[in-house]
Amino acid sequence: MDARLVAAMEVVIGVPVVLVGYIWGSEWLVAVLSARWRRVVRPWLWLAPALGFLGFFLIYPTVLTVIRSLQGKDSLHPKFVGLTNYRWFFTNSDALGALLNNVLWLVFFTGFTVGMGLLVAVLVDRVRFESLAKSIIFLPLAISMVAASVIWKFMYDYKPAGTAQTGTLNALIGSVGLGPVGWLQSPGFRLSTFALIAVMVWMWTGFAMVIISAALKGIDPGLLEAARMDGANEWEVFRKITLPLLGPTLTVVSTTMVITSLKTFDIVYTLTNGNYSTDVVANLMVKEMFTFGDFGRASAVAVILLLAILPIMGFNIRKFRSQESMS
């Protein structure tokens, strides 16, 4: 039998057994303490495995990355170089191009995904085949971005003019006498970046739709009916009542999409690997790591990504605290 299969089975059975045993054992251990100390010690024993993982895999390496971003390329004896890596990022045209692309991702991916999600949620709410429509639009979210990349590689396929187009989009625009367009090979107007954004909008609209749809169903229908009785048309009902009530939900979906747009990696790596002016910050980091072997610069890129996400982290924490104090 494959040794890796044996190892996997050992982990799947062994880890739960060890963890449950640990909790039983710790309960037995705290029993020797006084009741007061027991209450103090027990929670930390229950939390210890999770805190260990969080500390080791998230907090500790993040601190090290911040330090590493202030050091040079040499990995064996890294020297302190101050903000040199950051200066490189903000003066290098490739890095700034990647940053610009992330801004485009942030604005257009977030805007289109939330907009389409809202549109679809409102529309399917009024048709009989709602669950079928939702399933179809939601489905791309279940597959990997790599699989989505393959799907869209065939959509965007480009053959020189004069030959039969096998890509769906070029065949479509060809049927009305346009194109062919090299969707994934066009740096001009950052067309290829928009082509990549379209793939992710296709994937994530279902996510926005599901959350917005759930909020939509939570709106009291009597409220909408009352407005209709008062003579408001459907558009007015939507704009004056539905939309304001959906506000908090739209904010939550938008923040999630903003984070997704900043972390964008798989699609770019798989479809263009950053060529044709499509590079993004997360892909730039992997390139600095593996292609150029400059862990100092790669760390600086990661820290810039973290800094861009910090405002949203603060926003989420504030939101969470106000919810907690309400309940």
Partner 1 sequence: MSTLVKQQAPAAAATKALSRRSSSRRGRFVLNLVVVALMIIWAVPTVGLLISSLRPQSVLSSSGWWTAFAPPYHFTMANYRDVFHQAGIGQAFVNSLLIAVPATVIPLFVAAFAAYAFSWMTFPGRDLLFVVVVGLLVVPLQTTLIPILKLFADWGLTGQFLAVWLAHTGYGLPFAVYLLRNFMGSLPRAVFESAAIDGANHVTSFFRLAVPMSLPAFAALAIFQFLFVWNDLLVSLIYIGLANPDNLPMTATIANLVNSLGGGWYLLGAAAFVSMALPLALFFGLQRYFVRGIVGGAVKG
Site for partner 1 in 39-98 (CB under 8 A): 39-40, 42-44, 46-47, 49-51, 53-54, 56-62, 64-66, 68
> In this complex, which beta carbon is closest to partner 1, that of residue 104 or of residue 298?
298
| Tokens of residue 219, six digits | 């709106």
**CA dist 84 → 90, 192, 203, 217, 310 (Å):** 10, 31, 38, 53, 22
Judge contact between 316 and 259, C-beta under 8 A: no
Query: Interaction with partner 1 in 283-302: which residues (CB under 8 A)?
Result: 285-286, 289, 295, 298-299, 301-302
∠ Cα 8 13 17 (to 5°): 140
Helix axes 3-30, 35-54, angle to 10 degrees: 160
Residue 187 C-beta: closest distance to partner 1, Å: 19
Contacting residue, 253, 276, 277, 287, with partner 1 by CB under 8 A? 253
By CB under 8 A, is residue 312 in contact with partner 1? yes
Contacting residue, 23, 81, 100, 224, with partner 1 by CB under 8 A? 23
Contacting residue, 84, 92, 185, 273, with partner 1 by CB under 8 A? 273
Contacting residue, 231, 235, 244, 291, with partner 1 by CB under 8 A? 231
10 Å Cβ neighbour count for 76?
4
Contact flags string 194-223 toward partner 1, x per CB under 8 A: --------x--x-x--xx--xx--------
> In this complex, which beta carbon is closest to partner 1, that of residue 43 or of residue 188?
43
Judge contact between 261 and 113, C-beta under 8 A: no
Contacting residue, 127, 176, 177, 189, with partner 1 by CB under 8 A? 127
| Full DSSP string of 230-290 | TT--HHHHIIIIIHHHHHHHHHHHHHHHHHHHHH--HHHHHHTTTTTTT--HHHHHHHHHH
Query: Interaction with partner 1 in 138-197: which residues (CB under 8 A)?
Result: 138-140, 142-147, 149-155, 164-168, 171
By CB under 8 A, is residue 137 in contact with partner 1? yes
By CB under 8 A, is residue 326 in contact with partner 1? no
Q: How far is Cα 74 from Cα 80, in angstroms, rounded to an integer?
A: 10
Residue 206 C-beta: closest distance to partner 1, Å: 8
Contacting residue, 103, 132, 223, 243, with partner 1 by CB under 8 A? 132
Residue 107 C-beta: closest distance to partner 1, Å: 19
- Whats the size of the chain, residue-wise? 327
Closest of 170, 172, 143, 145 to residue 156, by C-alpha: 170
